[in-house]
């Protein structure tokens, strides 16, 4: 059981938070007092008076952070603004103190202190800093943010258990800036009261999709704080293709959109992702909102040196057809299994390998896979595959297949083509955008016969395969440095912040 905090220390922490807010909100300076309660009362009186006479809600938002040590939600900001407009300054002070005390009791962090950062660029890397998962979004974060850190003055932030920004610990910083794949212990939340970092008239970049428990606070920050929020837009799959997602995902995604509608800029990872976000923005005037400016910054693919080496194999091995991605309905892996069985029955010789983990609604895929194996079909599944093994598989494959029904980008297509391995992919959305530059055959992902025909062609026509391989090698390169610099221009430069 946690021991109650010393009352004097709690008052001193409150005085520190209020003084930090006063530094940016008020022109007058306050002499420190030996009595923290008197110190806090003097500064709070001045802050409430300022908020009562100010326009907008930015000062209200910051005052609430100082009172509670957490980021307030929209309802609390609006209720506080209304209350302070109607109450006397003294009554408003008492109401705020009651509100702050209740919040501090709930979070168990009454000794929290804050640092208000002005005219800064903050980057929220909460998930990537605390987890060893390194799939799509984490790859983007760990490839982009280190370049920003070298070239710009940025502040990396994660979240406190009570719901506010904090600085990263050493292991967390290494996960983001110096990723090595080595597992590190996750930080213990709530073990101490870290100093809260509060953005003021700054830019907050969201390179991740925040967790549902962070969306309410971030939406309020974007709407009220005066700090401009910019985000990478990955896709609209949970809404546009809700039938292909777990039932909980659309609800989570709609909460994320409450942040986006109050953001200033969004950069989509592909033309189709940008179009989806623009479609959302076009609906916002019905709510009286302008929404963010949407641009496009297409993801790059850089291959490691180990992936450039020729694959090691023997002439006796069957040609490898590779499929990369989790086994969920929208990846369309059942269609690949069907097309492969058609070709095996025709007498074609090849082995089929899936690399990717199980996902929701993958029972149908698993059942068909077991049935094919019982009949002796050369099909395998690799799970928990290392990055190095994945690149080796790309190089060893005769071609890859990625007939997804909806993607934000389609990284397996881009990675396959980057090493010069032809791909069969969908003729829609971001996958068509990637394939347009050469090296791929596009098919209707809902046409089983078209998929089987494309696979048959690349298994039997060496000249066509060689032509596609040459096209893949001729594709224009795009590096993470290119992406990071272009993205910085779109999300950070010349972004207007509210006074």
* Domain count for the chain: 3
Alpha helices in 320-428 (DSSP H): 333-345, 363-374, 387-396, 411-418
CA distance readout (Å), 216 to 144, 254, 285? 26, 11, 21
Question: Is the domain of 84 the same as that of 212?
Answer: no
CATH classification at residue 159: 3.40.50
CA 402 – CA 457 distance, rounded (Å): 16
Question: Is the domain of 289 the same as that of 350?
Answer: no
Answer whether 219's CB lies under 8 Å from 262's CB: yes
Query: What does the radius of gyration of the chain's CA atoms come to, in whole angstroms?
Result: 27
Exposure pattern of 254-263 as b/e (b: 16+ CB <10 Å)? Answer: ebbbbbbbbb
- What tokens does 332 get? 């369309």
For the four alpha carbons of 218, 223, 226 and 232, in that order, the dihedral sign comes to: positive
What is the 8-class DSSP label of residue 185?
A: P
CA 84 – CA 95 distance, rounded (Å): 9
What is the pLDDT at residue 194? 83
Answer whether 211's CB lies under 8 Å from 144's CB: no
CA 20 – CA 38 distance, rounded (Å): 16
Domain extent at residue 12: 7-111
In a domain, 185, yes or no: no
In a domain, 2, yes or no: no
In a domain, 1, yes or no: no
Q: Which helix (H) or strand (E) holds 251?
A: helix 248-260
In a domain, 220, yes or no: yes
Tell me which of 71, 96, 111 is where a domain ends.
111
Question: Is the domain of 31 the same as that of 57?
Answer: yes
Question: Is the domain of 22 the same as that of 101?
Answer: yes
Question: Is the domain of 462 the same as that of 326?
Answer: yes
The gap from C-alpha 11 to its chain's centroid, in whole angstroms, comes to: 37
Residue with tokens 């804050």: 114
Question: Is the domain of 241 the same as that of 311?
Answer: no
For the chain, 499 residues long, the average pLDDT of each consecutive 10-residue run is 76 97 94 90 97 95 98 98 95 96 91 97 98 89 98 98 96 95 61 84 98 97 98 97 93 97 98 98 98 98 75 74 94 98 98 90 92 96 89 97 97 96 98 98 98 99 98 96 98 87
CA 108 – CA 102 distance, rounded (Å): 10
In a domain, 183, yes or no: no
| Strand ordering across the sheet containing 114-118 | 114-118, 196-200, 165-167, 155-159, 121-124, 203-206, 228-233, 265-268, 293-296
What is the pLDDT at residue 313? 58
What is the pLDDT at residue 27? 92
What is the pLDDT at residue 191? 46
In a domain, 184, yes or no: no
Reported residue count of the chain is 499
Question: Is the domain of 56 the same as that of 173?
Answer: no
Question: Is the domain of 19 the same as that of 142?
Answer: no
CA 473 – CA 477 distance, rounded (Å): 9
What is the pLDDT at residue 31? 85
CATH classification at residue 442: 3.40.50.2000
Residue with tokens 């002070």: 93
Question: Is the domain of 226 the same as that of 290?
Answer: yes
Instruction: Give the SS3 label for residue 65.
Output: helix
Question: Is the domain of 328 the same as that of 464?
Answer: yes
CA distance readout (Å), 72 to 62, 197, 351, 497? 9, 14, 56, 19
CA 447 – CA 403 distance, rounded (Å): 10
Alpha helices in 401-461 (DSSP H): 411-418, 429-435, 448-460
Tell me which of 88, 111, 134 is where a domain ends.
111
Cβ atoms within 10 Å of 304's Cβ, excluding its own = 9
Question: Is the domain of 171 the same as that of 237?
Answer: yes
Tell me which of 111, 139, 165 is where a domain ends.
111
Question: Is the domain of 471 the same as that of 450?
Answer: yes
């Amino acid at each position: 059981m946690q021991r109650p905090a010393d009352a004097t220390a709690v008052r001193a922490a409150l005085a520190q938070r209020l003084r930090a807010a006063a530094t940016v909100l008020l022109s007058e300076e306050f002499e420190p007092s030996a009595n923290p309660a008197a110190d806090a009362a003097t500064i709070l009186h001045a802050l409430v008076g300022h908020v009562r006479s100010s326009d907008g809600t930015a000062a209200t938002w910051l005052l609430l952070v100082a009172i509670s040590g957490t980021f307030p939600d929209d309802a609390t900001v609006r209720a506080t603004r209304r209350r302070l407009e109607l109450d006397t300054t003294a009554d408003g002070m008492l109401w705020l103190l009651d509100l702050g005390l209740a919040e501090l009791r709930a979070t168990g962090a009454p000794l929290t202190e804050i640092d208000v950062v002005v005219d800064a660029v903050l980057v929220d890397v909460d998930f990537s800093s605390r987890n060893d998962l390194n799939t799509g979004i984490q790859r983007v974060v760990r490839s982009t943010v280190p370049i920003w850190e070298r070239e710009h003055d940025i502040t990396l932030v994660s979240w406190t258990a009570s719901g506010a920004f904090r600085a990263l610990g050493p292991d967390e910083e290494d996960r983001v800036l110096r990723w090595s794949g080595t597992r590190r212990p996750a930080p213990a939340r709530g073990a101490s009261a870290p100093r809260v970092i509060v953005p003021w008239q700054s830019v907050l970049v969201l390179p991740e999709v925040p967790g549902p428990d962070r969306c309410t606070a971030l939406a309020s920050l974007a709407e009220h704080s005066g700090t401009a929020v910019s985000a990478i837009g990955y896709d609209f799959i949970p809404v546009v293709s809700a039938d292909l997602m777990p039932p909980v995902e659309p609800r989570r995604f709609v909460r994320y959109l409450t942040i986006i509608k109050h953001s200033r800029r969004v950069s989509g990872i592909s033309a189709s992702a940008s179009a989806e976000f623009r479609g959302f923005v076009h609906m916002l005037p019905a709510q009286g909102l302008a929404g963010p400016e949407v641009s496009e910054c297409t993801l790059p693919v850089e291959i490691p040196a180990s992936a450039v080496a020729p694959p090691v194999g023997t002439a006796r091995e069957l040609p490898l057809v590779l499929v990369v991605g989790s086994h969920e309905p929208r990846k369309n892996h059942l269609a690949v299994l069907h097309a492969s069985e058609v070709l095996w029955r025709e007498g074609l010789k090849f082995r089929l390998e899936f690399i990717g983990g199980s996902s929701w609604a993958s029972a149908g895929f698993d059942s068909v896979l077991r049935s094919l194996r019982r009949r002796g079909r050369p099909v395998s599944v690799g799970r928990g595959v290392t990055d190095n093994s994945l690149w080796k598989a790309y190089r060893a494959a005769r071609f890859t297949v990625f007939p997804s029904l909806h993607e934000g980008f389609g990284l397996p297509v881009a990675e396959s083509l980057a090493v010069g391995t032809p791909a069969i992919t969908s003729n829609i959305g971001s996958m068509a955008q990637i394939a347009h530059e050469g090296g791929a055959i596009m098919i209707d992902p809902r046409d089983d016969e078209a998929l089987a025909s494309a696979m048959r062609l690349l298994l039997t026509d060496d000249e066509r395969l060689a032509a596609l391989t040459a096209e893949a090698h001729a594709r224009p390169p795009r590096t993470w440095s290119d992406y990071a610099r272009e993205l910085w221009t779109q999300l950070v430069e010349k972004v207007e912040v509210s006074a």
